[in-house]
Structure 1
Amino acid sequence: MSPARLAVGPEEIDHPQSFRVVNGGRSPVDVTVDRVGFTMDGTGRMVFGHDAPRSAASWLRVTPADFRLAPGAKRSVTVRIDPPPRPEPGGYQVALLFVTPAGTGEGGIKLDRAIGTPIYPTVPGPVDTSVSVDGLTTPSGFTTGGPVDFTATVDNVGTVHRDFLAPRGLKVDVNGYDVPFPDFTLPRGVGRTVTARWTNPPFMCVCHATVSVSGTGGTSRRSVTLVILPLRFLGALLAVAVALYVLAWLSRRRRRARVLGETRASRARDTPAQEGCDAPAPSGGPPVRDGRDDPARVGGEG
């Protein structure tokens, strides 16, 4: 079924809109087209209800509302929007439900299948496109590397729905990098929390991230600071540096010990032995013998 969603501007609200329904199965199906109001929860899930705020369910005229579709066949469904007299300007929402019976399930329970298509009509007149960014966070202000998730809370405080679709979708500006959020639509009066993943952050940085949205009331902006520091890599570098320092210190110590040993050995070789050596003669005379090797004295003692 296409289109999957439809935004109808003020200049198009009186024009008929067309949807195409295709039976991609192998059996004929009976299709019933219903209209129901809806809103969205904080995760973007559609919540249907006939009492949903700003519902335009009673404005739609669908042709045909019931039909049978053969296998592989296609069918166009025309929708006309007929607002009541003097409606309040701004945005409304309604969902077309294409319902097909799916037979009987366990216990004899009949199960129907339905595909919902949101329609966002805007009534002519002054509108407010203001959006408030109420928060921007990361799991923590510090990480050792990517990927990094940024989570923003966005509230539609204006009077019309806001589309955040690529290439003009909501983005996080991180030090000049654009990190896009997934496509989403924010109905009037609805808030939503969305997350963007930065898959390739720089190796190391003090990053300043900002999300900003402009509207009638000005620009709403939120920022957060993120520090990326690869502690494991730095720890490995520190361990290598310490190991190199220890090896250099041990090498210097061994070299110093070797030099000291060689110096001592050299001094020992250069110093004369004291035992059996001649004492120097006084006043430059002949050396004075100690008498132990005098032959005459030796003989006399005998």
Structure 2
Amino acid sequence: MKILIVENEIYLAQSIASKLMEIGHLCEISTSIKDSLKDEKYDAVLLSTNISGQNFYPVIEKHRNSIIILMISYISNDTVTNPIKAGASDYIQKPFMIEELIRKLQHLNEYKKLKKENETYKEYVSNLFAAANLEPIDKKMKFPILIKTNFQKHADALVFNYAQTYNETFTFISLLNANAFEKITRASNDELLYIIDIQNLKRSDKLKAYAVLEGKRAIICSTDPNEESSFSTIEINTESKVLDQGEILSIDEYVKYIIGNFQNKFPDTELSKKLGISRKSLWEKRKKYGINKKK
């Protein structure tokens, strides 16, 4: 990490820099607020709050996208509470062990990365399911809940929407994993579980799964339209199942899907070529499937 140390006690600043550089960090030292405001990017800033007569808030504002650890002599609103409200990440009280400072830096750096990843995944998932346009799961619905659908991603969309709406996290479990039953058993009754692949179990294992899930806050997805359960049930049927994991379509189903979803994106010459059929066959298949081409 590239670290800026803002400290007017030069011996202390040099001591911190020396220890941090020993473990691979790059360090720069500023002995005044003015020096620390140069237009340069840092992964972290170690900011002393007792540089006499100098307002340290401009440093927080300038480097607000960096990890900022306040180095304080005592705890008060002026040294901790207000600076953290202004954008600082954490604080450490002098005198401190360098190991404690390193631990804080590592923890905050990992937190920052995970937060960024989480934001990216949320945006991706929201975009992925934006077109689903499904009725959300009713909060009053009794758990466990079975979702029967021919397109697993619609069940995924419902679960992600539920978790986001009610600010919950959930545990994802595929019943094809060797430790699936163990994970379900270990889960508390308050933990939200999302279970898939129950349709791939043999009957005895399926009955075992339903027994283990009884009383759990679980949402189970099955792509078997004939799935039977005493649980609360939601049924979603769609023709858009071509991208579902594990779904094998007949050739007719595949051709019907491609024509219906791509005929307005490609001219007939190109679409028939991609399907490996003639333009006449494409016309005949439209007639067979009852697909009208928009003008």
- TM-score over 0.5 (shorter chain): no
TM-score, length-scaled by structure 2: 0.18
Higher relative contact order structure (alpha carbons within 8 Å, sequence separation ≥ 6): 1
**Greater helix percent: which structure?**
2
TM-score, normalization: structure 1? 0.18
Q: Highest Rg: 1 or 2?
A: 1
- Tell me which protein shows more strand as a share of its residues: 1
